[in-house]
Structure 1
């Protein structure tokens, strides 16, 4: 190893170490190599350990835990990147080429690229349930979340407040049960004063949540209801990303 290579190894960096299912160890690594990670260390005995790396993301280490299922050792980390869209598109391309389609629900899975109050992010859940969030921040997360909390508090519509909470449950925390229940309450509080644009966005989010919960019939109904509003909302340019998401959900249902 030359001095340049040694200097690269010893530069300031953090390598997250995740526990994973001992009996699914190789399947676990397969998912990462499918995303485009390079396997740089592999050990099967006296214990299972491996490391993978990807230049645009970083390095992760994995330990095969024999008691994984009994104790539930899922971990997670946040990876900051300067161009999350480029990273996402590459991961998406690699996974689709390897599996034939994108793993968008269950385990393992990759989320769509989502915008939250503090960043653009993509959530990755590996076969052992570890979660890696790759994001491009808008600024100081504490300040941004305080502003978002103030914005939501100032909303007069209970429906809009419910949508904001459900969106965060779904895309920031991946708590789809909480998102589903929050949306159900929001729709029960919907009034004629709530704009069609907001209702459309909530219906698309509801469809996505139902898909994640494998409630396919409910997802289909939500998509049909959202699609029926197309004539009403097509005049609004601000809904472009939401319309794109709806089309993606239609395609996803067709491929299930």
Structure 2
């Protein structure tokens, strides 16, 4: 028998939890209503179990787990389609939601985040080649050398997409853009898209729309789009959500 762990997460409504996860392909493996409301689900051969906790406030729920999957882009698109069918649109902000998929080289993962109706933070990732952090010592290795703009990009990305500390991420972005010498066009583009994404995710459509011309102008400066493919996809999705396309 192989040893394994099963995350046990809280749920304000087992019915809402089941509907959410079944929309992205889960099947029920076990369910009971008494003495405790409880359900076991399996998705991509990974088990997640949930127990009823009606008094839980989703906005202050800190429960989380990481799902390591293969074919992550296919699964991501399946999740988006399933959630759109369930809710009538893809939930990109608030609770529940699905965040944009992107490479996180400093984490060694291509990943996205699902936040379910109870506020459980489900990080979904697939391993990619890891780059050494420009900022932090990891596994006994000192930070790699890098430019100030590159360091700012890594820090803002970690703050916004790893910690969801949008206020601090914006502070880092604005300082970096203010001091931008203009010789790292791809990194500048990433910072601008991240700033636009934060505005969209924090329900500030006016700020997001105001950034569109600047982002388009910056994109025109870049010939090789391979290194910014995820940011281009994020930019296009935000424009579609805001009715700018």
Q: What is the deviation of 1:107?
A: 0.7
Contact in 2 for aligned 1:49/1:64 (Cα 8 Å):
yes
Match of 1:18 in 2: 9
Supply the distance in 1 between the matched residues of 2:14 and 2:217 (Cα, whole angstroms): 46
- 1:64-83 to structure 2, matched below 5 A, reads 64-69=52-57, 72-83=60-71
Higher Cα Rg: structure 1 or 2?
Answer: 1
1:97 aligns with 2:85: yes
Evaluate the alpha carbon distance shift between residue 125 and residue 226 of structure 1 in structure 2; reply closer, same or farther with a 3 A threshold: same
- 1:38-53 to structure 2, matched below 5 A, reads 38-53=27-42
Q: What is the deviation of 1:80?
A: 1.4
Match of 2:191 in 1: 202
Bigger helix fraction: 1
Supply the distance in 2 between the matched residues of 1:46 and 1:183 (Cα, whole angstroms): 50
- 1:175-254 to structure 2, matched below 5 A, reads 175-190=165-180, 192-233=181-222, 235-238=223-226, 239-254=228-243
1:30 aligns with 2:19: yes
Structure 2 length normalisation: TM-score? Answer: 0.84
Supply the distance in 1 between the matched residues of 2:14 and 2:164 (Cα, whole angstroms): 24
Match of 1:3 in 2: none
SS class of match (1:42): strand
Match of 2:98 in 1: 110
- The total of aligned residue pairs comes to 237
Evaluate the alpha carbon distance shift between residue 11 and residue 189 of structure 1 in structure 2; reply closer, same or farther with a 3 A threshold: same
Which consecutive unaligned segments of at least 5 residues does structure 2 have? none
Contact in 2 for aligned 1:176/1:212 (Cα 8 Å):
no
Supply the distance in 2 between the matched residues of 1:68 and 1:245 (Cα, whole angstroms): 32
Match of 1:165 in 2: 155
Task: Tell which deviates more after alignment, 36-45 or 69-78.
Answer: 69-78
Supply the distance in 1 between the matched residues of 2:123 and 2:45 (Cα, whole angstroms): 11
Cα RMSD, aligned residues only: 2.7
Evaluate the alpha carbon distance shift between residue 228 and residue 184 of structure 1 in structure 2; reply closer, same or farther with a 3 A threshold: same
Evaluate the alpha carbon distance shift between residue 97 and residue 67 of structure 1 in structure 2; reply closer, same or farther with a 3 A threshold: closer
Match of 2:128 in 1: 138
Task: Tell which deviates more after alignment, 61-70 or 99-108.
Answer: 61-70
SS class of match (2:90): coil
SS class of match (2:220): helix
Structure 1 length normalisation: TM-score? Answer: 0.80
